[in-house]
Structure 1
Amino acid sequence: MILSHSQDDRHVATDIAEIPYILPARALSFYTLFLLVVVPLWSVIPIAWSFVIYVLWTGNIWSFGWNGRICFAIAFSEVLFSVHHYKLVRSVSGPPLNGASNLAERQASFIRVLKSGLADLIEESYDEESLDDARPGSPAETIVQLNADDPRAVDFRERMRAWYVFRRSTWSSVKKRDVYAYLYWVFYNSEMPPLEFLTGRQRAVLDEALSRVEKRAGKTIPDEPSVGVQPVRLTIDEVNVNWRPLTWYVMALGGNWMLRHWLVSSYGARFGCYNGLEYFVRIPESWDAVHGRRPLVFLHGLGLGMMQYKIFLSDLLRNHSDRPLLFPLQPHISQNIFHVRFLTPMPRREMVTCLVGLLRELGWVPPVDELDDTLELYKNTKSSMSSGVVVLSHSYGSFVHTWLLKAYPHMAVRSCFVDPVAICCWEGDMCHNFIYKPCTTGSDLLMRYFVGTELGVANTLQRHFDWVSNSLWFEDIPNARDPDKTLVVLGGRDAILNAERVRRYLSTHGVSKGIYFDPKGAHGQPLIADGLGHDTIMKWLRVA
């Protein structure tokens, strides 16, 4: 999970991996929002505890009127909820329960990561030797020893150090023991025991991977005592959760409840559940499965579920009133703490099985008895199928999008990725920016407190994240170079993913017209505000 793309500039005067990372000074917006928004909300729980303890200690509750008793009941509810919340945090603070996936699969994926950027490709072009099968050159490259000043090696070292702390340590400060600890997590998803307790097989796996890393980096990693550098190991590091009051979760639940009723009454939406996968669907009465426009599936990201997409959903339902819309609900990333599966998100296989089963039940994709023939036809012709759906994903939703494309590429006949964190997630930018990087601006603070450190989100990302499953490679995207079939929307000021590197990764593999890049765009901006990004998405969706 490290890595890299080729660079256009073939003359690198400075080893950027040796430039110390200096955290920017905190902006005024950080302190303003911290004092006016975060502190008041954070203070609800200690104030509730203080009030309840005072009332019980003095016995003043018997002299309260109805207003006083209501305030005490609310405060007492906050106290009980804070104890419950604390227990939930403790329950997810241990090691991940899902363990590691297949070792061979992880090794193969890690090699694929190391090969990314090895092919000497330029933007808006691709490996000429791969024209016949329309695949990029990087998967076919051989990992050879690079020179230390090779731009590919320099870029690799710069990207890899994002996986070390105190975050983005200089490359020379990273020692062999630090890399071993990182690689052990990559392959085994757990804490590395002392080297002398490793089995022969485990040590061989680490040594082989280390050798490839050194070749790719163009430098030998010194076998010296560690100088305090710690690798980022997302799923076994301490879970970073900030408390929030019961009132917050009740407001989020109430907002989504009102939106649910609005969708039903205004657009005829229907809510349902398929084998544990909850969703809402709107199917126009006049829609015809044979001649009608393809159904649209919208996979949402982290936050407040439907409520945060209210404006965008309104646009979709209003501007695409002649096509069906499916919106799968993901309570574990929607701050629905009252849901039975709040801390048990659907793993990849279960999610894909349920989603595909639901699509079949709706009649939007081939039924089971036609699946093999349909898939074989797709493999042979690489053409669009007579049935299928248009998939639109945002941020975290691109992971679910990725799972679907890897398992059933023929079902998503068109794909739109908005702020796709799945592309280049093997690099450290997303992990560093969203979870580990200290906040310096007001927007960083709001994103971290209200989303990143919320219990359900933190549990999903820090205990259930599988980088092998979540990594979306160019070759995983059907018709990636066809702008009518694939659209990627990126913002240059995205505070989570490194949009420029995602753009470069795709453009060096021949994707050009299918990328919309707004240099001033922020994460999620095309979905919540009018502008060229929003208009580009709507125009692209109207094509079919």
Structure 2
Amino acid sequence: MQPKHANKLAADLAEQLAPSRTRDLSFYVVLFAAVIPLWSIVPLSWAFVIYSLRSGKIWTYAWAGRALFAAALCEVFFSVHHYSLARFIRGPHSLPPNKLVELQQAFNRVLKSGLADLSEDGYDEESLDDERPGSPAEEITTLRYDDPRAVDFRNNLRTWFGKVPWSQIHKEDMYTWLYWAIFNAPYAPFDSLPKSHQTTLKEVCQLIEARSGSTFPEGSNPSVRALRLTLDPVSVVWRPLVWYLGVALSNYLLRRKMVRKWNVEFGTYHGLDYLIRIPPGWNAHTGRRPIVFMHGLGLGLTQYNRFITHLLRNAPEHPLLVPLHPHVSQEIFHPRFLRPMGRRDMARTLAGLLDKLGWAKWQEKAESEAEAEADPARVPMGVTMISHSNGSFAHAWMLKHYPAMVTRSCFIDPVTFCSWEGDLCYNFVYRPASTGMELVIKFFVGGELGVANFLQRHFDWYANSLWYEEIPNARDPNKTMFFLGGKDAIVNADRVRRYLMSHGIRKNLWYDPNGRHGQAMLRGSPGQKEIFRWLLQTEKPSSSSPSSSKPSLLLSPPSS
């Protein structure tokens, strides 16, 4: 039942208005030094071309003026092409529907998250025998309104409604959001929906009311807007041809340099581009474990060049595979720029490539274990997968579909955990920028055509959400590692840390309270040193004994 007194509402964390955010000096520095100059290239090109043609001065220009006119004309033509692509992605999403049974199970899992009486600070990893502790075993019961678990649930779920006070969300508003989350479709009047859909909405809404310790008022609130990522208008900011040409040239030069200096090769497997380096004489059964690096959003090789080079230099005995994703690398001239692989295609293609390379066996875990018992020397060792940011989605897809192929996992600034809470989507797409870093993320990454298409027309929260129990050997510090930065502007790193620690992840969690998104990967940083320490350490067998592994938890990184 909802409380009757206003003072109780005022004391409720889920009823407090989100604090107002003012733009700081760094916002204006980035705005005037980078955003406006780049943004203005297109309108200035249009103005120059129109002026030159209308005035007839085009015929009086010297070679420098004509070259400038030609460049401006190219920008004009490209802007028309860019606009047509932006209009194209504003259409309906093309995501295939998920199975209703799977979605219902996923929602049950979301509602159970945080129900278990587990403290991230008081969890005793050494004495707990249960390999999969926590929320999955809990039952969804009706909580009291002032139960801390209900307050926490309400406070985080309201993120999907622009962080309005929970009491302002009415039942039709929740139905609108649920219909998107479950069926990925716009909500119609309740009575016009199929009976099965009506039943599903009622059941899930009742579970949310029980979990939140509240009931929704009937009707809808016109001032409340549910965030529906794949249905809301796509937010795209134009950028000039010269920007994309610069990215393409940079990636081309880096490819040539890597081929020449590091003896890497570039190839394509069933539509998946990749970079690969296999050390001479490497053996799939006796050599070092292969490394697969899944990069995130940004500029592809240009952005991750230093980290990949560091991998090539410091792990020379390990084979290295880097799948390349043009749809999130601003490679607008690539044929798959607006056609990203879905979770099943991506996982199947990568699994097929690993099997073809002989790095991992493409079959079910049980079969692999049976074959290993029969002849261990004939079974490939599997791969170490490292993922950063958006790359953790593909990492999660592999663990969901082919967990036996990934024998070691390293998550750096992962966005796949707690993504059901809405912080990721809200911060990256909907939140107005107020700092220079937020403006860089929003303009140079989030508002780019390919990234916007991927996030706002191909985002599948069910497929992208990774749960603790889906991670093999999640608490083994030799096989799994997590890196988080407390000042991450994209994900709520503190929520992710609490989620992981409440499930017993301690020794293999590296948390920098002052770290920002991507900071752990910077050359010479404490985070990168810890990444490579873990990556190159001598692999040890799993053991439940506390003495079998050295602690690697760093809640606060050492001074650099």
Scaled by the length of structure 1, the TM-score of the pair is: 0.93
* Distance in 2, Cα, partners of 1:323 & 1:204: 53
1:281 matches 2:276:
yes
Q: Distance in 2 between matches of 1:125 and 1:153?
A: 21
Determine which of 51, 54, 58 is the counterpart of 1:54: 51
- Asked if 2 retains the 8 angstrom alpha-carbon contact of 1:124 and 1:511, the reply is no
Q: Tell me how far apart the structure 1 counterparts of residues 121 and 478 of structure 2 sit (CA, whole Å).
A: 17
* 1:179 matched residue in structure 2: 174
* Distance (Å, rounded) in 2 between the aligned partners of 1:120 and 1:218: 17
The alpha carbon displacement at 1:24 in A equals 1.4
- 1:21 maps to 2:15: no
Superposed CA offset, 1:467-524 (max 9, x none): 1111010011100000111000000000000111101101000100110000110001
1:541 lines up with 2:547 in the alignment: no
Q: Quick one: distance in 2 between partners of 1:500 and 1:80?
A: 46
8 Å Cα contact 1:173/1:229 also seen in 2: yes
AA of the residue aligned to 1:148: Y
Alignment check: 8 A CA contact 2:361 2:380 kept: no
Matched, 1:38 2:35: yes
AA matched with 1:232: L
CA offset digits 1:183-223 (Å, max 9, x no partner): 00011101101222112111111010110000000011111
Amino acid at match of 1:451: V
Question: Of 500, 510, 518, which aligns to 1:506?
Answer: 500
Find the counterpart in structure 2 of residue 486 from structure 1.
480
What are the residue-to-residue correspondences of 1:120-519 with 2, within 5 Å? 120-123=117-120, 134-164=131-161, 167-366=162-361, 373-374=367-368, 387-519=381-513
Q: Quick one: distance in 2 between partners of 1:403 and 1:133? A: 25
C-alpha RMSD of the superposition: 1.9
The answer to whether the Cα contact below 8 Å between 2:112 and 2:140 also exists between their aligned partners in 1 is: yes
Asked if the contact 2:113/2:136 (under 8 Å) is kept, the reply is: yes
Number of residue equivalences: 524
Q: For residue 7 of structure 1, what is the aligned residue in structure 2?
A: none
5+ residue gaps, structure 2? 1-8, 374-378, 540-560
Q: Secondary structure at the match of 1:426?
A: helix
The code of the aligned residue for 2:316 comes to S
Distance 2:527 2:339 in 1: 34
Answer whether contact 1:283 1:324 (CA < 8 A) is retained: yes
Instruction: Report the secondary structure of 1:410's partner residue.
Output: helix
Q: With CA pairs under 8 Å and 6+ residues apart, which has the higher RCO, 1 or 2?
A: 1
- The aligned amino acid for 2:116 is A
**Structure 1 124/361 Cα, relative in aligned 2: closer, same or farther at 3 Å?**
farther
The answer to whether the Cα contact below 8 Å between 1:398 and 1:421 also exists between their aligned partners in 2 is yes
Q: Deviations over 1:306-344 (max 9, x none)?
A: 110111111111110111110000000000000111001
Instruction: Tell me the alpha carbon deviations over residues 413-436 of structure 1, each in whole angstroms, 9 at most, x when there is no partner.
Output: 100000000011111111111111
Q: Which residue of 2 aligns with 1:9?
A: none
SS in 1 for 2:482: strand
Q: After the TM superposition, which of the residue ranges 439-448 and 131-140 deviates more from structure 2?
A: 131-140
The residue identity in structure 2 corresponding to 1:136 is P
Residue by residue over 1:138-195, the C-alpha shift from the partner in whole angstroms, topping out at 9 and shown as x without a partner, is 112111000001000000000011000xx21011111111100000001110110122
Aligned in 2, Cα 1:277/1:125: closer, same or farther, shift over 3 Å? Answer: farther
Letter in 1 for 2:160: W
Distance verdict in 2 for CA 1:229–1:99, change over 3 Å: farther
Contact 1:191 1:236 in 2 (8 A): yes
1:287: Cα distance to partner?
A: 2.3
Deviant stretches of 4+, over 3 Å: 124-128, 130-133, 375-379
CA distance in 2 between partners of 1:344 and 1:378 (Å): 38
| Correspondent of 1:109 among 100, 106, 109 | 106
Contact 1:42 1:244 in 2 (8 A): yes
Structure 1 residue 286: deviation in Å?
Answer: 3.6
Secondary structure of 1:47's aligned partner:
helix
Shift of 1:372: 6.2
Change (3 A) 1:211 1:54: same
Q: 1:277 to 1:259 in 2, by over 3 A?
A: same
Residue 131 (structure 1) shift: 5.3
Give how far 1:227 is off.
3.8
Matched, 1:86 2:80: no
Give the Cα separation in 2 of the matches to 1:225 and 1:276: 46
The residue number in structure 1 matching 2:515 is 521
TM-superposed deviation, 1:528: 2.3
Tell me the distance in 1 between the aligned counterparts of 2:396 and 2:495.
Answer: 19
C-alpha distance in 1 between matches for 2:366 and 2:481: 28
Partner secondary structure for residue 417 of structure 1: strand
Q: Residue deviations 1:215-237, cap 9 Å, x none?
A: 00001111144141011111111
1:268–1:282 Cα contact (<8 Å) kept:
yes
Q: Secondary structure at the match of 1:244?
A: coil
SS of the equivalent of 2:419 reads: coil
Structure 1, residues 223-260: CA drift from partner, whole Å, max 9, x if none?
14414101111111110110000000000011100110
* 1:493–1:237 distance in 2 versus 1, CA, 3 Å: same
Whole-Å Cα distance in 2 between the matches of residues 56 and 49 of structure 1? 11
Q: In the aligned structure 2, how far is the partner of 1:526 from the partner of 1:125?
A: 27
Q: How big is each residue's C-alpha offset from its partner over 1:53-77, in whole Å with a ceiling of 9 and x where there is no partner? A: 1111112111112111111111001
Q: Residues of 1 paired with 2:180 and 2:370: CA distance?
A: 37
Shift of 1:100: 2.5
Q: Secondary structure at the match of 2:403?
A: coil
Instruction: Tell me whether 500-509 or 283-292 shows the greater mean CA deviation.
Output: 283-292
Answer yes or no: is the 8 Å Cα contact 2:171–2:216 preserved in 1. Answer: yes
1:94 to partner: Cα distance:
1.5
Q: What TM-score, normalized to structure 2?
A: 0.91
The percentage of counterpart residues that share the same residue type is 51
Q: What is aligned with 2:555?
A: none
Q: Match of 1:159, as an amino acid?
A: N
| Structure 1: gaps (5+ residues) | 1-11, 380-384
| Contact 2:160/2:226, CA 8 A, preserved across alignment | yes
Q: Partners of 2:252 and 2:404 in 1: how far apart? A: 35
